[in-house]
Structure 1
Amino acid sequence: MSDMTQPAPPAGVKRHLPLITILAMAVIGFFTLRDYLTFDTLRDNREALLLFRDSNYALMVLGFVAIYVTIVAFSLPGAAVASVTGGFLFGLWGGTAFNVLSATIGATAIFLAARAGLGRALSAKLETSEGTMKRLMEGLRENEVSVLFLLRLVPAVPFFVANLLPALVGVKFRNFVWTTALGIIPGAIVYTSIGVGLGEVFDRGEDPDLSLLWAPQVIGPILGLAALAALPIVIKALRGKKDF
């Protein structure tokens, strides 16, 4: 009787499976879900969602967090819609709390998946590098928290990149988690606040204006926080030049 069992994948391949799964789901989700995770879907189902929330608040919270975590963890389309939905369903403070919690958990999942595979090998290689790369790694170690905050506060950095890049260069897990949770709060408040007034927007037959994030009165304070995060890096650089 022949052995019909399939050979187990090599250990190296196993380490990459979580990240491969995430990337595959991201591609599949982009083509299959982008027409469903939209404000039109939310508009069509808003009465049912509000009714369910009023009768099953805890279950609605758990369902919302689970869906949002899945969206972030697999980099599916609809993260902005989910953030706005948080404000629509739970108000400014509850929505912000649930948005930040969900996004942090999802981001942590990507970080761990990347670090378990590609990140482990790449960070080990960078640790033994020389020249410019070694100096960059030393600079990252000295300014790890500031760099992580910058990745979260600078709007031009895609959320997926801010989740993946730290894992590939070997930043500390605890620093990644707490800087993510704090660093995404300003943007979360903006998106959640849009959701608070979403019912009136729908009643006018309009879609929410997500360009509010780029309004001077909004982007200005966020960039100010980014500047504060960068200040320790600048100070260390200036001190290094003086010492030299």
Structure 2
Amino acid sequence: MTNTETPPKSGLARLLPLAVIGAVALGGAWLLGDYLTFEALRDNREMLIAYRDAHYWAAVAAFMMIYVLIAGFSLPGATIATLAGGFLFGTFPGVLYNVGAATMGATIVFLAARWGLGEKLSAKMDASEGRIKAIKAGIDENQWSMLFIIRLVPLVPFFVANLIPALVGVSLWRYVVSTFVGIIPGGLVYTSVGAGLGEVFAQGETPNLGIIFEPHVLLPILGLAALSALPVALKYIRGKEAI
């Protein structure tokens, strides 16, 4: 009788996708640092607009493919790409192109991390005892809240927010939905800044990329994060009352 079971992947094979992402990220930071910049967007704006006007859907496809590669391989220029989406396609539908491409790129990182580390680490946490198991159980009970919080809080780096869910066993569909919805507020802010770049270019100025930390923008986003955390707080309060 033959054994048809698939042999388990070696540790090196599991880490290969993450290693590829890391290598491409380092190479991209060195090779593309001078190209994915605000200055490059400013200097090539007329050519980009002309191509968009002549080949709109080809421009959309090319833009989203580049954005997916930037997000998926952690290349420099994600903010510039978001601004370019707004500049070329307007706040709407530019925000949909930006958020959609960023979500697809983030999913590449998630799948690579889950393949390399996530499944094994999550299983170890489930099999552990004491505080580690309690932490894992708490995360599992509040996955939606946790996922939205790490997306909404601007201080959590995008790459870190891609890795954490993979390491604690979040399902793919929850990750994709929470990523798409959770990055909409920040994506909308930067896309709208990009939509106004024409005037910025005309005046010879640079955009205010710190706008997301201004109170009138930051406070509503933090309010959404607080709403996401509300179910966790209610569970905690009810648990205390039951003791």
Pair in the same fold by TM > 0.5: yes
Map 1:54-133; keep pairs closer than 5 Å: 54-133=53-132
Shift of 1:160: 0.3
Return the alpha-carbon distance in structure 2 between the equivalents of residues 23 and 159 of structure 1. 15
Shift of 1:31: 2.3
Shift of 1:30: 1.9
* Equivalent AA in structure 2 for residue 207 of structure 1: T
Return the alpha-carbon distance in structure 1 between the equivalents of residues 137 and 118 of structure 2. 17
Shift of 1:120: 1.7
* Equivalent AA in structure 1 for residue 29 of structure 2: F
Return the alpha-carbon distance in structure 2 between the equivalents of residues 17 and 43 of structure 1. 37
Q: Alignment partner of 1:218: what SS?
A: helix
Shift of 1:33: 1.6
Partner of 2:155: 156
Q: Alignment partner of 2:223: what SS?
A: helix
- The runs of 4+ residues in structure 1 deviating greater than 3 Å are none
Q: Alignment partner of 1:37: what SS?
A: coil
Q: Which runs of 5+ in 2 are unaligned?
A: 1-8
Query: Is 1:199 equivalent to 2:198 in the alignment?
Result: yes
Partner of 1:4: none
Map 1:117-196; keep pairs closer than 5 Å: 117-196=116-195
Shift of 1:190: 0.2
Return the alpha-carbon distance in structure 1 between the equivalents of residues 222 and 211 of structure 2. 14
Return the alpha-carbon distance in structure 2 between the equivalents of residues 173 and 140 of structure 1. 16
Partner of 1:225: 224
Equivalent pairs counted in the alignment come to: 235
Return the alpha-carbon distance in structure 2 between the equivalents of residues 210 and 12 of structure 1. 41
CA deviations on 1:148-185 (whole Å, 9 max, x unpaired) are 00010000000000001110111111111100000000
Moved more, 32-41 or 98-107: 32-41
Q: Which runs of 5+ in 1 are unaligned?
A: 1-9
Partner of 2:3: none
Return the alpha-carbon distance in structure 2 between the equivalents of residues 212 and 11 of structure 1. 46
Q: Alignment partner of 1:59: what SS?
A: helix
Shift of 1:73: 0.2
CA deviations on 1:25-71 (whole Å, 9 max, x unpaired) are 11222222222210100011000000000000000000000000000
* Equivalent AA in structure 1 for residue 38 of structure 2: F
Return the alpha-carbon distance in structure 1 between the equivalents of residues 11 and 215 of structure 2. 48
CA deviations on 1:73-119 (whole Å, 9 max, x unpaired) are 00011000000100000011111000010000001111001101111
* Equivalent AA in structure 2 for residue 130 of structure 1: E
Partner of 2:15: 16
Return the alpha-carbon distance in structure 1 between the equivalents of residues 11 and 212 of structure 2. 42
Return the alpha-carbon distance in structure 2 between the equivalents of residues 34 and 156 of structure 1. 23
* Equivalent AA in structure 1 for residue 205 of structure 2: E
Return the alpha-carbon distance in structure 2 between the equivalents of residues 48 and 146 of structure 1. 43
Taking structure 2 as the reference length, what is the TM-score of the superposition? Answer: 0.95
CA deviations on 1:109-138 (whole Å, 9 max, x unpaired) are 110011011112211111111111100000
CA deviations on 1:180-207 (whole Å, 9 max, x unpaired) are 0000000010000001110110111111
Moved more, 18-27 or 38-47: 18-27
Taking structure 1 as the reference length, what is the TM-score of the superposition? Answer: 0.94
Query: Is 1:32 equivalent to 2:24 in the alignment?
Result: no
Identity among equivalent pairs (%): 56
CA RMSD of aligned residues (A): 0.9
